[in-house]
Structures are given as C-alpha cells and as structure tokens.
Amino acid sequence: MLENNKIIITGAASGIGREIVMQCLQEGASVIACDIDEVLLKELRNSTTQELYTYVVDVSQHDEVERFFCEIQKQHPNINGLVNNAGIYLATDIASYEPNQIDRVIDINVKGSIYFSKYFGAHLLKQKTNGVIVNMSSVSGMEGSSDAIYGASKAAILGLTKSCAMNFAPYIRVNAVAPTMVDTAMMATIPQWRKEEYWNHHLIPHPVTPEDVAETVIFLLSKKAKHYTGATFDLNNGGYLR
C-alpha cells in the first residue's frame, strides 16, 4: 500500500511508533525514524534489513527540528509522508503539575507536531508535490483526561489537524487518529478508575493494540484514503459515539 513512499515518523523507537515503523516497512515504504532515545533507535535499526533511516531528534527543540529538516532536504528530498507520533503522558492531576512539567508536555506533544508539520509542509508546498500528515491525538483530547494537561495537548492536536488541512490544501492531506487506551507502557500509568470508565463504555470487548493503531495510520497514509483530510479517526471500540 505504501510503495514509493518515504515517511518520517516521530516517537518511532517504541510503542505505537515502533509498530507504525514496522508496518510502513512491510507495506513497501522507506522510513525515516526519529526519536530522542538513541539506544532504542539502534535496536530498531538492527531489527530490520529494510530501508530504514534513524535520526536522534528532540521534537520539542525547534533548532534541532530545523537542522533535521535541513539534512533531510539534502538526503531525502522525496519525502511525502509524516506521522507526528511523539508524545508523553505524566499521569499527574492539574493541581500537582509544576510549571516545568506543563512546559514539557506542551513542548513535546504540541510544539513538536507544529515544528514537524511546519517544515514538512513548507518543503512539499515549495515543490508543489503531494503528501500526507497523520497526527496522533487521543480519546483524551475529545472526552477529557484525568491528566488535564495531557488532555489539553491532545485536543490541541485536533485543532492543528484541521487548520493544517486547510493551510496545506490541495497538496497535503492531514488527518488525526484518536485511540482509546492502547496496551503500551503508558497504560500502566493511567489510574485504575479511569481505565474502568473507558472499558465500561466500550461496545466492542477487545483491547485496542499498537497494531490496530498502526493499521489505521497505514490506511491514512495510503491512496485508499485519498478523499480524507481534516478528519479524526476514532479507535475507541464505540466507547464514545459522536
């Protein structure tokens, strides 16, 4: 489904990001994997013989992102896909948040996606070539979160998705994926009462896995999704009907 595509993926070294990388490679894409964790990136690089390029990038640092795209434009000028997946969840109630923690969540979860979208969009618009952006939001951005700062950051991603869809048309499609709880390391930090609230709303009694999320991302990156832009795809087992 993704032959002749070259896709940048942030937060690529573990969890959902790693699964997206592997499925993109399986579908014939070349992948540029970005993460702040150099050790996990090396493990990812060693796990496949397919066309995978790895870069250590802190998505929250504008200067690093700018330098990254300067290098990408020289080495990989034919990029046509971006998955803004990098994000953190601190599992903290708003009254306990320290200012530096608030900044960290917003810098990674929101500014990181803004910086990557800015430079990716500028590159493709200058060339007048077609491309796709997929942003990773969350059910928390639509229904609220026990971690209010995380919920606010994921709600911001939905607004960014719609606005970029308008700004980058007609060349770049921009969509968001909003999963419910996914079985990754992050899930262990969600309060039990909140997990049960989610589970009690589900109409489909099967957990959402990283593989499920990656399959949706693959669809949105592919030509099969050519008529979708500015949309949000819920992966919540029917837990919240809109």
Catalytic amino acids?
150
Residue 148 has φ and ψ, to the nearest 5°, of -65, -35
CA distance 85 to 218: 13
Quickly list DSSP for 199-235.
HHH-SS-S-B-HHHHHHHHHHHHSGGGTT--S-EEEE
First to last CA, the chain: 30
Q: At what angle do helices 15-26 and 210-221 cross, to 10 degrees?
A: 50
DSSP 12: -
75, 86, 151 from 154: Cα distances, Å: 32, 12, 5
Q: CA nearest 4: which of 172, 136, 167, 132? A: 132
Instruction: For residue 26, give every residue at least 6 positions away whose Cβ sits within 8 Å of its Cβ, in sequence order, or none.
Output: none
Rg, C-alpha atoms of the chain: 17
| Residue 197, CA atoms < 13 Å, CB-side half-sphere | 12
Q: Phi and psi (nearest 5°) for 39?
A: -65, -50
